[in-house]
């Protein structure tokens, strides 16, 4: 199958591209700077999001589009300008995906759009499944709602559409290297109260779930891309310390994080317990359903 990926050069996109190649698909990566990358037998880089680029002219027989494009949430303090950039990066890219679908002579079978568990808002007492049909009221929930609303326009074009609401992705890149740094310095501990939920997922399951969503023709709408067993921050930290053979003992007060990070501190102090009810009911089997083996697979080298 010919598969188009936006955001294909990032952490998730590069791992997903490797997986799809192994499954003998051809991957077209849409990028603003195709000249920076070398094509191969199974990967073609195509320019987009600039007036001079017309990606539809380089694509044919596209079976699926995977939209991963969007600016990182944790690369800087959330000023008003930064928040606009976080929102716009997702909205503009997703609208460009819809425009591409319109421009293609033959529509793809499926659009798999990245999303986030931030849709549900924050709670220390609720557990969320895909049956939760109303978003939270904070900034992240609003971003995700607008993101999914734009992607859902593919449904109007007759394209099966899946939104994979990702939790904290555990891998050699992304959030985990920042999480382990305090433990390496023997200073790991609870963030704030430690009672906030962390809905996590191993990078291998992220990749496999996106690939599964392409093939599972009865799967559509929101799908929680989280492992079946979310953890409270205090329990996640204890397990992380155990895997690293480092103590979990030095808490960071919530007010310190709020002072240092401002509104962005919600990424560390907020959270939600999210379970992948739909993925499991549709037959997806997690490679890493439990936290400790997931962390060991990344952090413990033979």
CATH number where 183 lies:
3.40.50.720
The helix (H) or strand (E) run that includes residue 89 is helix 80-103
- pLDDT tens, position by position, 174-198: 999 999 999 999 999 999 999 999 9
Q: Which residues contact 40 (CB under 8 A, 6 or more apart)?
A: none
Average pLDDT, the chain: 96
Report the distance separating Cα 214 and Cα 104, nearest Å.
Answer: 19
Report the distance separating Cα 190 and Cα 12, nearest Å.
Answer: 27
Query: SS3 breakdown of the chain: % helix, strand, coil, rounded to 5?
Result: 40, 20, 40
Report the distance separating Cα 226 and Cα 168, nearest Å.
Answer: 8
CB atoms within 10 A of CB 177: 12
Q: Look at residue 211 and tell me whether its pLDDT is greater than 70.
A: yes
Average pLDDT over residues 214-218: 97
Q: Look at residue 110 and tell me whether its pLDDT is greater than 90.
A: yes
Report the distance separating Cα 126 and Cα 136, nearest Å.
Answer: 12
Q: Which residues contact 38 (CB under 8 A, 6 or more apart)?
A: none
> Where in the sequence is the domain holding 175, given as residue range(s)?
2-299
b/e burial code for range 251-265 (CB count within 10 A of at least 16 → b)? bbebeebbeebeebb
Report the distance separating Cα 54 and Cα 59, nearest Å.
Answer: 10
Query: Could you write out the DSSP letters of every residue in 221-284?
Result: EEEEES-SS-EEHHHHHHHHHHHHT--B---B-HHHHHHHHGGGGHHHH---EE--HHHHHTT-
The pLDDT of residue 278 is 98
- pLDDT tens, position by position, 257-290: 999 999 999 999 999 999 999 999 999 999 999 9
Query: Which residues lie across from 5 on neighbouring strands?
Result: 29, 66
Q: Look at residue 118 and tell me whether its pLDDT is greater than 80.
A: yes
Name the percent of the chain lying above pLDDT 70: 100
What is the total residue count of the chain?
302
Terminal Cα distance for the chain, rounded? 36
- pLDDT tens, position by position, 140-156: 999 999 999 999 999 99
Helix axes 176-184 and 233-244, enclosed angle (nearest 10): 70
Indicate the number of domains in the chain. Answer: 1
The pLDDT of residue 302 is 60
**Alpha carbon separation from 80 to 87, 182, 239, 296 (Å, rounded):** 11, 29, 36, 38
Q: Look at residue 24 and tell me whether its pLDDT is greater than 90.
A: yes
Taking only Cα atoms into account, the Rg of the chain, rounded to an integer number of angstroms, comes to 19
Report the distance separating Cα 110 and Cα 88, nearest Å.
Answer: 23
User: Which class for 242: exposed (0-12), middle (13-18), buried (19 or more C-beta within 10 A)?
Assistant: middle
Average pLDDT over residues 242-254: 96
- Cβ atoms of 251 and 194 closer than 8 Å: yes
pTM for this model (two decimals): 0.96
The pLDDT of residue 147 is 97
Residue 62 CA to its chain's centroid (Å) = 23
Give the model's confidence band at 75: pLDDT under 50 very low, under 70 low, under 90 confident, else very high: confident
**Alpha carbon separation from 128 to 143, 223, 277 (Å, rounded):** 18, 11, 9
Residue 177 CA to its chain's centroid (Å) = 16
């Amino acid at each position: 199958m010919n598969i188009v990926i936006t955001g294909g050069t990032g952490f998730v996109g590069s791992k997903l591209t490797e997986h799809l190649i192994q499954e003998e698909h051809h991957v077209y990566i849409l990028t603003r700077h195709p000249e920076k990358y070398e094509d191969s037998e199974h990967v073609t880089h195509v320019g987009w999001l600039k007036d001079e680029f017309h990606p539809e002219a380089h694509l044919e027989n596209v079976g699926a589009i995977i939209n991963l494009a969007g600016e990182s949430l944790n690369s800087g303090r959330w000023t008003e300008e930064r928040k606009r950039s976080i929102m716009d990066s997702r909205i503009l890219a997703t609208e460009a995906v819809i425009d591409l679908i319109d421009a293609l002579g033959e529509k793809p079978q499926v659009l798999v759009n990245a999303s986030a568990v931030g849709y549900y808002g924050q709670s220390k007492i609720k557990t969320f499944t895909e049956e939760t049909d109303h978003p939270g009221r904070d900034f992240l929930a609003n971003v995700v709602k607008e993101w999914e609303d734009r992607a859902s326009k593919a449904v109007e074009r007759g394209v099966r559409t899946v939104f994979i609401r990702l939790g904290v992705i555990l891998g050699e890149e992304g959030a985990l290297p920042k999480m382990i740094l305090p433990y390496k310095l023997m200073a790991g501990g609870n963030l704030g109260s430690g009672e906030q939920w962390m809905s996590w997922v191993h990078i291998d399951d992220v990749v496999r779930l996106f690939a599964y969503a392409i093939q599972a023709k009865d799967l559509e709408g929101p799908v929680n891309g989280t492992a079946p067993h979310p953890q409270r921050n205090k329990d996640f930290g204890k397990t992380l310390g155990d895997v690293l053979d480092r103590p979990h003992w030095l808490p960071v007060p919530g007010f310190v994080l709020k002072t240092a990070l401002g509104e962005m501190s919600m990424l560390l102090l907020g959270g939600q317990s999210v379970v992948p009810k739909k993925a499991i009911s549709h037959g997806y089997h997690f490679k890493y359903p439990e936290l400790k083996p997931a962390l060991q697979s990344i952090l413990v080298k033979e």
